[in-house]
């Protein structure tokens, strides 16, 4: 999924018009591909946060790795692990809230399909790529 989530110039414009996103005024937003800037931010932040959780989790996993790390390293790892978990939960909550905010998104997430009208309104560049066979 990382290729579809690479940052593009349009993503900066999309983010700068976040007020229009929240107002569901798609006409003022640039055309986006399969994922918009918000979705890309969720993807990259969760990818990074999961790596930090795994790394810090290994450090505090006493059953297998107790001999490899000092008490001070474990204390720092517990703090990093806890803060990272809180941030990941916050990202997830924002993700769910955004999915509820945009009508049709929950169905898209649970069924894996959207209508042509929904795709045209929210992900026009992606729909064009699908129709022209670029994707």
Q: How far apart are CA 91 and CA 22, in angstroms?
A: 17
Residue 32 half-sphere exposure toward CB, CA atoms < 13 A: 26
Residues noted as catalytic: 95
Helices 9-16 & 37-60 angle (0-180, nearest 10): 100
Residues 82/74, Cβ–Cβ less than 8 Å: no
| 3-class SS shares of the chain: helix, strand, coil, % to 5 | 75, 0, 25
CA angle at residue 48 from 46 to 51, to 5 degrees? Answer: 105
Positive/negative CA dihedral, 80, 81, 83, 88: positive
């Amino acid at each position: 999924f990382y290729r579809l989530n690479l940052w593009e110039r349009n993503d900066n414009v999309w983010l700068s018009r976040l007020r229009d996103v929240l107002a569901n005024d798609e006409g003022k937003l640039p055309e986006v591909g399969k994922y918009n800037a918000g979705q890309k931010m969720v993807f990259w932040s969760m990818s990074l946060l999961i790596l930090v959780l795994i790394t810090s989790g290994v450090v505090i996993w006493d059953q297998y790795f107790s001999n490899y790390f000092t008490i001070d390293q474990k204390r720092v790892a517990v703090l990093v692990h806890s803060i990272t978990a809180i941030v990941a939960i916050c990202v997830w909550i924002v993700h769910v809230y955004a999915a509820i905010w945009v009508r049709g998104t929950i169905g898209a997430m649970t069924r894996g399909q959207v209508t042509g009208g929904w795709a045209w309104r929210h992900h026009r560049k992606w729909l064009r790529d699908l129709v022209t066979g670029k994707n």
